[in-house]
């Protein structure tokens, strides 16, 4: 399993210290107030967190994907919203690194590495999310520009992102449909509005919004890789790291819930003894620890596969599926361990219970993940060695 370098272990330790010192003491209040964590995001920039996936010559501190997984887990352990704020940013960085022109790399990656520019994706639409080939947002060529019309939803950091990787149809008549889809690297401007903020069960603080494009114009140089019709395949590759990142967030939430439950089970007494000594509670703790350990191994395995350069949608799908379902189960059982206090907003376990479902439906629902996994198992003739 993945071994981090000394430098990478030091980076994870610095992030863990930041989470314990500055995030956990304020996360509950910020979350309940649904307040955007400006100061914490600024500190993440100073720590170089937004540049961890961007190598030289564009960034300074690129790390392996297993290290990136551990950093994401630590952030989510403190407050999942912080890990969510960097998820789409990483996917866009990887898209530009892999498919972008030299000019696009020079234009965006150095500023993304410092966090000066934060990026997000615009994939999902009000009429559907999982079936990306059925999207209705169009980008029609008009001379040296594209004219964009359509609506996107569930866009993280929508108004605070300086760069948006927009999935749109540049050829609505193409068959099969995916051949008419492209990615445009767009910025806020005339014709692009944040039409509404979406109310959410969890994932508070960091905004999730609807974006409306009405005759929005962007230069043809915004086309990722300068080739039309490749957007669907490009995004599918980008979603490999996206799903690994979501799985890492689930690890963080599950770990936080487990650690809170373990601590509470040692402190709380009933019938004259700590509640962990009661078999039912002890069993919860044992199951939490076992499933969390298994989830971490799956996520690190997917991270190593991704770094190998081989296709990793099977591994990313399995990691995302198992880690997110594990986080949801652990969060629920942490509420059980806390009893009535688990239902109180004075304890963090109710937040974990509200945050965990996002990883089940985000970055491709777990129902879609099962479809991806099954298709890859058939294509590969079973599990790889």
Residues with a catalytic annotation lie at: 363
User: Which of 328, 181, 341 is closest to 246 using CA atoms?
Assistant: 328
Under 8 Å between Cβ of 53 and 68: yes
Rounded CA separation 285/333 (Å):
9
Element holding 184 (H helix, E strand): strand 181-186
Q: How far is CA 219 from the centre of its chain?
A: 29
Under 8 Å between Cβ of 295 and 251: yes
Scored b (16 or more CB within 10 A) or e, 161-178 reads: bebbbbbbbbbeeeeebb
Element holding 270 (H helix, E strand): strand 269-270
Helices (H) and strands (E) in the chain, counts: 11, 9
CB-based burial label for 293 (10 Å; 0-12, 13-18, 19+): exposed
User: Which of 108, 129, 130 is closest to 119 using CA atoms?
Assistant: 108
Scored b (16 or more CB within 10 A) or e, 55-73 reads: beebbebbbbbbbbbbbbb
Q: Which residues pair with 269 in a beta bridge?
A: 274
335 contact partners, CB below 8 Å, separation of at least 6? 342, 343, 349, 350, 353
CB atoms within 10 A of CB 287: 15
Element holding 147 (H helix, E strand): strand 145-156
Under 8 Å between Cβ of 320 and 283: no
């Amino acid at each position: 399993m993945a071994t981090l370098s000394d430098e990478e272990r030091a980076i994870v330790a610095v992030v863990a210290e930041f989470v314990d010192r500055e995030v956990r003491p304020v996360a509950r209040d910020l979350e309940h107030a649904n307040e955007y964590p400006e100061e914490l995001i600024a500190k993440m920039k100073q720590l170089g967190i937004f540049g961890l996936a961007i190598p030289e010559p564009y960034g300074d501190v690129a790390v392996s994907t297993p290290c990136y997984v551990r950093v994401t887990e630590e952030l989510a352990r403190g407050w999942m919203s912080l890990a969510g704020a960097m998820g789409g940013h990483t996917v866009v960085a990887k898209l530009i690194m892999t498919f972008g022109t030299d000019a696009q790399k020079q234009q965006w990656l150095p500023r993304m590495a410092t966090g000066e520019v934060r990026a997000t994706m615009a994939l999902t639409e009000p009429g559907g999310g999982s079936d990306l080939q059925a999207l209705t947002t169009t980008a029609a060529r008009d001379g040296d520009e594209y004219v964009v019309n359509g609506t996107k939803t569930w866009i993280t950091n929508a108004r605070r992102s300086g760069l948006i990787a927009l999935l749109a149809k540049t050829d609505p008549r193409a068959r099969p449909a995916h051949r008419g889809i492209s990615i445009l690297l767009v910025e806020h401007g005339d014709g692009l509005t944040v039409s509404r903020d979406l109310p959410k069960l969890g994932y508070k603080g960091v905004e999730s919004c609807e974006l409306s494009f009405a005759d929005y114009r962007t230069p043809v140089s915004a086309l990722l890789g300068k080739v039309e019709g490749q957007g669907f395949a490009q995004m599918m590759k980008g979603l490999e790291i996206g799903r690994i990142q979501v799985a890492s967030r689930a690890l963080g939430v599950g770990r936080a819930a487990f650690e809170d439950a373990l601590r509470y089970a040692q402190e709380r007494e009933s019938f004259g003894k700590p509640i962990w000594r009661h078999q039912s509670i002890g069993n919860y703790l044992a199951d939490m620890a076992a499933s969390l350990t298994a989830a971490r191994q799956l996520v690190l395995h997917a991270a190593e596969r991704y770094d190998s350069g081989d296709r990793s949608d099977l591994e990313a799908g399995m990691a995302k599926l198992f880690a997110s379902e594990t986080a949801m189960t652990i969060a629920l059982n942490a509420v059980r361990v806390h009893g009535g206090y688990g239902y109180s907003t004075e304890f963090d376990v109710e937040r974990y219970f509200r945050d965990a479902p996002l990883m089940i439906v985000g970055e491709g629902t777990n129902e879609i993940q099962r479809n991806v996994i099954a298709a890859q198992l058939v294509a590969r003739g079973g599990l790889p060695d």
